[in-house]
Amino acid sequence: MATKESFASNAAGLAKFRDLDQRGKIMAEYIWIDAEGNTRSKSRTLDEKKDGAIYTPEELPIWNFDGSSTGQAPGDNSDVYLKPVAVYPDPFRPPNNILVLTECWDADGTPNKYNHRHECAKLMELHAKHEPWFGLEQEYTLLDLNDRPYGWPQNGYPAPQGPYYCGVGAGKVVQRDIVEAHYRACLYAGVKISGTNAEVMPAQWEFQVGPCVGIEMGDQLWLARFLLHRVAEEFAAKVSVDPKPIPGDWNGAGLHSNFSTAEMRKEGGMKYIEAAIKKLESRHKEHIAVYGEGNEKRLTGRHETGAIDTFTYGVANRGASIRIPRECAAKGYGYFEDRRPASNADPYSITGIIMETCFGAVDD
């Protein structure tokens, strides 16, 4: 059977090589999103910039990969291009190496089918005057190499939910080291991670990223996902973003999406919040269509969710589609939370459709 030791990285062995001089070169890890919503990456060598300055996306070479191996292109026309869009310090190779987030483009000069960023970026630019802020809450479950949630008995189930949410102590939480390492990796890379907590189902955790402005939200959340998978790899753990990893009386996993505009954040902002919610109501189905695969298993109206077929909203209501935080209702301005997106949704699709619904399509 696969053991942790046979799969986890040998950090002590690698440590001897960490401080070797790179002789004026750096490693750039190009990251992209594949057909299934996983991140993929590969490395290339670049010249170090003078005085160790960090590259801008525009300065970095466009690269490519074999799209037939990732389900992103047919075998007879398989080159997919990687266009750098954001650069971050690499926490796995400090101090001067970089992570490069990229968009996928086809050879004919059109965005790849799975490139949801391109449309999103256009919407963000068109409606930039509203100064959209987003904050996403990424829930996920840590699995062992046999796809069992960490710490769950081999046969049967843990004791019912209750002690695990924000739990402290053995028997309540597992794999906190991964959460801690991911938190630090995010801070090092410059991800605006705003916090973490243990979730209601044992082996389930959450981190939040935000507030981020416009397209930065999708970029940062995808980078944070990459970092989480990469950190968990070192601990021989799998990260699942399945919205209902365990059927039955166990909470699912979401990607609650908090949103505000300049108007909503000012005194009297509640009328803009209510207007936005009305617009969201009129396009409920279109939103659900891009809010993640398998979300119908999660949005049952139980376990702190609204039902998938009905749009509801309320102050401090965790059983609604949209929640207005108590504090915002009391102040009369602030933000609201769209609780519908599933943990596996694409943040570019979520933030894009929120902008489109509130402020109009690019061609309107």
Task: Give CA–CA dist 325/138, Å, rounded.
Answer: 18
Residues from 206 through 235 that contact Mn ion (CB under 5 A) = 206
Query: Binding residues for ligand ADP, how many (CB under 6 A)?
Result: 16
E-state strands within the chain: 25-33, 39-47, 63-66, 79-89, 98-106, 133-143, 193-198, 204-213, 238-240, 255-260, 313-315, 322-324, 336-338
Pairing of strands 322-324, 313-315: parallel
Asked if 137 is part of the footprint of ligand ADP (rule: CB under 6 A), the reply reads yes
For tokens 């919610």, name the residue: 277
The number of residues making up the chain comes to: 364
Residue 210 binds: one of ligand ADP, Mn ion, none (C-beta under 5 to 8 A by kind): ligand ADP
Supply the minimum distance, in Å, between the C-beta of residue 45 and ligand ADP. Answer: 36
CA distances from 285 to 115, 282, 301, 314, 364 (A): 22, 8, 16, 19, 20
Specify the stretch interacting with ligand ADP by CB under 6 A; choose among 10-18, 32-40, 107-115, 127-135. 127-135
Supply the minimum distance, in Å, between the C-beta of residue 246 and ligand ADP. Answer: 21
Task: Give CA–CA dist 240/245, Å, rounded.
Answer: 8
Looking at beta carbons only, is 141 or 208 nearer to ligand ADP? 208
Specify the stretch interacting with ligand ADP by CB under 6 A; choose among 131-139, 169-177, 222-230, 352-360. 131-139
Supply the minimum distance, in Å, between the C-beta of residue 341 and ligand ADP. Answer: 12
Residue 133 binds: one of ligand ADP, Mn ion, none (C-beta under 5 to 8 A by kind): ligand ADP
Bridge partners of 326, per DSSP, are: none
Looking at beta carbons only, is 86 or 344 nearer to Mn ion? 344
Residues from 249 through 278 that contact Mn ion (CB under 5 A) = 256
Which one of residues 29, 34, 103, 137 is an interface residue with Mn ion (CB under 5 A)? 137
Asked if 343 is part of the footprint of ligand ADP (rule: CB under 6 A), the reply reads no
Asked if 29 is part of the footprint of Mn ion (rule: CB under 5 A), the reply reads no
Task: Give CA–CA dist 289/356, Å, rounded.
Answer: 14
Q: Which residues bind ligand ADP (CB under 6 A)?
A: 133-135, 137, 194, 208, 210-211, 256, 258-260, 265, 334-335, 337
